[in-house]
A = this chain, B = another copy of it.
């Protein structure tokens, strides 16, 4: 039997990141942790997103060390990619350049800061789903 979990190559990880546009960002919030969904785009080896002034922005200014996760699943396969890195705010031309990215807001709220995760670690897994309990469900 082949293993139900295989490791994605780094190019496969970036492919998954480029295919999706909703991920989850984990960061420190005071003494604890926070995790929030974000819309993002990939630019080179950076994850770019926008945020408003607010708790998330000030938490990231206090501690820029983050983890970021994207996943996708179908009936038989699930894939998940996790990145770790540091968030920086982009300004001037760098921030303007992100207008060329596929960074599409899902929600009509004002987000004034353009942020980028400088990815230092990336890894991914492919899960071959068995869901054995599905065979126990009535038709």
- Interface of A, secondary structure class, is strand
A 104-135 binary contact with B (CB < 8 Å = 1; else 0) = 11111100000000000000000111111100
- Residues on the B chain within 8 Å of A31, using CB: 65
Name A's B-contacting residues (CB within 8 A).
4-5, 22, 24, 26-28, 31-37, 65-69, 71, 73, 78, 80, 82, 84, 104-109, 127-133
Count of this chain's copies in the oligomeric assembly: 2
Complex A-B, nearest 7 residue pairs according to Cβ-Cβ distance, in ascending order: A26-B26, A33-B67, A35-B67, A26-B35, A35-B69, A107-B127, A108-B130
Q: Pick from B65, B69, B73: contact of A24, CB below 8 A.
A: B69
Closest beta carbon of chain B to A63's beta carbon, Å: 10
